[in-house]
Structure 1
Amino acid sequence: MTPRVPKLKYSKDELTRTWQSASMLMDYPDQNLLAHLDLLSQVAATLPAKLGARLQATIDHLRARPLRESESDYVDTFDNRRRGCLFLTYFSNGETRKRGLALLRIKQVYTRAGLTLTDDQLPDHLCVVLEFAATIDQQAGLKMILDNRAGLELLRLHLREIESPWTGALEAVCATLPPLKGTDHEAVERLIAEGPEEEQVGLNPYGMPDLLPMPGGA
């Protein structure tokens, strides 16, 4: 059964181009990514400005920096900080048994769609989810993203806080989603105050004004 998800402002093709571009830009930087930056820039130019300009900001950062610097920045941003975690179910479940069940459910969605992950890929990695949503099953992928919206928003706030080069790519994704509503705000505020479940890590400092919906997010 096709999951029921809200209708979005942008067309299916615009979502595909945005999500696939963001998936590539937010993956670990390597020579292959650098070789595709011109193509990604061309794609960004075809998108509405509220999406394309954000993608282009990340493209420009990656283009201007030596690869070794981007590699080091990426590890510092995403691998060594819980607030920069790219694994979506971590925010909603922490390191608990419930997270194992959440991963299994996502993997089952992939299996039904005919997608087989390699041994080094976890199903809830943001880049994997975005690629799946962009190229295989947009509705099922969107549901995964929205089910983990609080964690995605917390990651966006973190990237903005540290002025990360990857902020633009993630904000492009968030701009394709519906504005945050009351329950989403509550979930983000809870994560800020308490951290992921059964973790003793505070997620401050983040100010509540940053929880306003992103411009162009509707």
Structure 2
Amino acid sequence: MKLLKLIAVLLDYPQEELWEHAGELRAACDDPALPPARRAALRGFADGLMAQEPMAAQERWLELFDRGRAMSLLLFEHIHGESRDRGQAMVDLLATYRGHGFALGAKQLPDYLPVVLEYLSLRPVEEVRDWLGHVAHILELLAARAQERGSAYAVLLETLVETATGKVDLALLRARVAGEERDDTPEAMDRVWEEEAVRFGAEAPGEECNPRPGCRRARSGSNPR
């Protein structure tokens, strides 16, 4: 599905090279196969993204998706948290990808939502619906939180919800997340930093870790490397 590939690109951390393909992005948003309202919403997001300087767009992405766990694009973080089950789930997902000839980049995590969407964009429609159906509750929660925070990224997440469930009705979830304690404030992130145990081994973050998928900055206010 072309739509999933488009959302994967727009939802990913905005590397500077993205601006070199602004025309292609806009053309993909104008795909006549999409409903007019959805085309307009996606085009509006792409235009807004391309109107920003890359560094400003990157900081906006980090503020939403990389500060706190509530908006994490790592799907297993919402399902397994830091439990041991997450490691086995990652291994199983990697095996599925490899079994269908889908290769990941060296620093990509298999449960990172844009990676999942890129994989699904190559799969049959029935398989896409099945996968999205299993994570629809996570997509709805992310969409409701993005709406509550007034983020333009809500458009992309709403589109995924619509693709997964056939509708977008987030009123009840909006009411619920409105009462959540934010985990992306400096105070909340300081608490996490103080409480989180030191980890060694395969899941320990490397020194070269960028503020990209799966690599959360140690403390709020630190600069990307």
**Fold in common (TM above 0.5):** yes
The equivalent of 2:23 in structure 1 is 38
Code of the aligned partner of 1:44 = C
1:78 positional shift: 0.7
1:21 positional shift: 0.6
What is the number of equivalent residue pairs in this alignment? 177
Cα 1:203–1:121 change in 2 (3 A) is: farther
C-alpha distance in 2 between matches for 1:175 and 1:53:
15
C-alpha distance in 2 between matches for 1:92 and 1:65:
33
The equivalent of 2:91 in structure 1 is 104
Instruction: Write out per-residue CA displacement over residues 145-185 of structure 1, whole angstroms, 9 at most, x where no aligned residue.
Output: 322222221111111111112221222222212257xxxxx
> Unaligned stretches of 5+ in structure 2?
183-225
The equivalent of 1:26 in structure 2 is 11
Q: Structure 1 length as normaliser, TM-score?
A: 0.71
Secondary structure of 1:82 counterpart: coil
The equivalent of 1:114 in structure 2 is 101
Code of the aligned partner of 1:22 = I
Q: Does residue 78 in structure 1 map to residue 31 in structure 2?
A: no
Cα 1:118–1:139 change in 2 (3 A) is: farther
C-alpha distance in 2 between matches for 1:130 and 1:144:
10
Instruction: Write out per-residue CA displacement over residues 27-82 of structure 1, whole angstroms, 9 at most, x where no aligned residue.
Output: 11122211222212112222212432231232022022111110111111111121
1:108 positional shift: 1.6
Which one of 133, 155, 159 corresponds to residue 146 of structure 2? 159
Code of the aligned partner of 1:40 = L
Structure whose residues are more often helix by fraction: 1
Cα 1:126–1:86 change in 2 (3 A) is: same
Which one of 51, 56, 59 corresponds to residue 69 of structure 1? 56
Secondary structure of 1:84 counterpart: coil
Instruction: Using CA pairs under 8 Å that are at least 6 residues apart, name the structure with larger relative contact order, 1 or 2.
Output: 1
Work out which of the two has the higher radius of gyration on C-alpha atoms and give 1 or 2: 2
C-alpha distance in 2 between matches for 1:177 and 1:50:
17
Asked if 1 retains the 8 angstrom alpha-carbon contact of 2:140 and 2:158, the reply is no
Instruction: Write out per-residue CA displacement over residues 181-214 of structure 1, whole angstroms, 9 at most, x where no aligned residue.
Output: xxxxx9x79x96xxxxxxxxx9457xxxxxxxxx
1:135 positional shift: 2.4
Cα 1:141–1:177 change in 2 (3 A) is: closer
Code of the aligned partner of 1:110 = Y
Asked if 1 retains the 8 angstrom alpha-carbon contact of 2:26 and 2:46, the reply is yes
What pairs with 1:1-218 in structure 2 (closer than 5 Å)?
A: 16-46=1-31, 47-136=34-123, 138-179=125-166, 203-204=180-181
Asked if 1 retains the 8 angstrom alpha-carbon contact of 2:11 and 2:114, the reply is yes
Asked if 2 retains the 8 angstrom alpha-carbon contact of 1:34 and 1:63, the reply is yes
C-alpha distance in 2 between matches for 1:111 and 1:139:
20
Moved more, 102-111 or 132-141: 132-141
C-alpha distance in 2 between matches for 1:101 and 1:203:
30
C-alpha distance in 1 between matches for 2:76 and 2:180:
16
C-alpha distance in 1 between matches for 2:98 and 2:46:
32
1:140 positional shift: 3.9
Code of the aligned partner of 2:45 = T
